[in-house]
């Protein structure tokens, strides 16, 4: 089992080599930027679309639990070397994935990168975190990592081809890069959701707004193209339907749907506030009014809605 809470409490953990990093960051970076009643990251060359406050961090941890269940308690799908030496987590967030991987692979040095100092200080001895903007040039040597992982880099990446190229350059021969992301184009197969569902409208508006802002939420549909163009081989793409609420009868899918419903109800405001304000000029009041119907329809179990999660595993068979 992968229970995130134990990563914060076990006496077997040592302080991260970067544990004092948050103490040495400037107070401005540590505090973040206040907008629309939420706190956003103050580091990086571009604005990150999602907040970094406690409410959002709780949602990220819940989303991690959803992914673990979706992948049948696996942390990733790539068939990596069972004794990996170095693993990189891009946009690590609260660091739970990196912590779990460090526990599962004690042979590996696990590094998590993020623009926000929101990771715990007490982590496995083989895990550390650094504050960095992954859209800038990486300072690691080429062919460094056995596995590069990124999950749900929503509203954060403006140049996906460049990011994927950097992944290619820094993945070892025979290593893997795995990208995981929800594609928030909501669908319904059986007509149980009306055409004017708030979720359909939110999906349309979010896809349009993110494109206007240069951080398209539909980028995940082109991951395979970006990877092939970068030089990756054996590109494997797996698409999984996940329910948007607890409407399925099957127990596992019902629980996954409950996780996703919580993710949507709690996270829809976080995704919307900065995005719709910057793209459309909507006020906070306009946005919250719009989201009332979105939340209501999310919790309507009669509507059998689902987004797609797109996961792409890539294997490099030879050096560049």
Element (H, E) at 14: strand 14-15
Distances (CA, A) of 9 to 12, 21, 55, 111, 307: 9, 20, 21, 20, 35
Residue at 320 is within a domain: no
What residues in the chain have per-residue pLDDT under 50? 1-19, 21-22, 25-26, 311-320
pLDDT of residue 266: 85
Residue at 1 is within a domain: no
pLDDT of residue 260: 86
CB neighbourhood size of 14 (10 A): 13
pLDDT of residue 115: 93
Query: Is pTM beyond 0.75 here?
Result: yes
CATH number of the domain where residue 255 is located: 3.40.50.150
Residue at 182 is within a domain: yes
- Which tens digits make up the pLDDT trace of 257-276? 888 888 888 889 999 999 99
- Which tens digits make up the pLDDT trace of 32-74? 789 889 999 988 767 788 999 999 999 999 999 999 998 999 9
pLDDT of residue 250: 87
* C-beta separation of 294 from 316 below 8 A: no
pLDDT of residue 30: 62
- Order of strands across the sheet that contains 305-315: 127-131, 109-114, 86-90, 145-151, 171-188, 305-315, 233-241
d(CA 247, CA 92): 31
d(CA 159, CA 126): 31
> What are the respective helix, strand and coil percentages of the chain, to the nearest 5?
40, 20, 40
pLDDT of residue 258: 87
Q: Say which DSSP state 17 is in.
A: T
* C-beta separation of 173 from 192 below 8 A: no
Residue at 206 is within a domain: yes
Give the range of the structural domain holding residue 144, as residue numbers without chain letter.
6-315
Give the number of domains in the chain: 1
Residue at 208 is within a domain: yes
């Amino acid at each position: 089992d992968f229970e995130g809470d134990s990563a914060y409490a076990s006496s077997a953990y040592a302080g991260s080599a970067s544990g004092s990093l948050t103490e040495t960051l400037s107070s401005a970076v540590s505090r973040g930027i206040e907008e629309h009643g939420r706190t956003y990251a103050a580091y990086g060359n571009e604005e990150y679309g999602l907040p970094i406050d406690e409410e959002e961090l709780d949602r990220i941890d819940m989303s991690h639990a959803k992914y673990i269940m979706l992948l049948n308690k696996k942390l990733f799908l790539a068939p990596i070397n069972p004794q990996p030496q170095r693993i990189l987590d891009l946009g690590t967030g609260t660091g739970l994935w990196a912590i779990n991987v460090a526990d599962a692979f004690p042979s590996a040095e696990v590094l998590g990168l993020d623009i926000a100092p929101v990771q715990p200080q007490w982590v496995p001895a083989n895990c550390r975190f650094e504050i960095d903007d992954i859209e800038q040039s990486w300072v690691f040597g080429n062919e460094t990592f056995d596995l590069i992982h990124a999950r749900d880099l929503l509203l954060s990446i403006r140049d996906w081809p460049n990011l994927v190229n950097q992944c290619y350059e820094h993945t070892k021969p025979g290593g893997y890069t795995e990208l995981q992301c929800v594609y928030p184009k909501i669908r319904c197969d059986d007509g149980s959701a009306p055409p004017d569902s708030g979720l359909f409208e939110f999906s349309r508006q979010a896809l349009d707004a993110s494109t206007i802002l240069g951080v398209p939420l539909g980028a995940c549909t082109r991951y395979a193209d970006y990877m092939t163009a970068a030089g990756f081989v054996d590109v494997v793409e797996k698409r999984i339907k996940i329910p948007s609420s607890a409407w399925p009868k099957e127990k596992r899918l019902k629980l996954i749907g409950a996780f996703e419903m919580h993710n949507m109800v709690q996270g829809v405001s976080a995704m919307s506030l900065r995005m719709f304000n910057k793209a459309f000029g909507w006020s906070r009041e306009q946005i919250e009014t719009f989201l009332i119907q979105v939340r209501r329809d999310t919790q309507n179990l009669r509507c059998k809605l689902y987004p797609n999660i797109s996961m792409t595993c890539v294997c490099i068979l030879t050096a560049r």
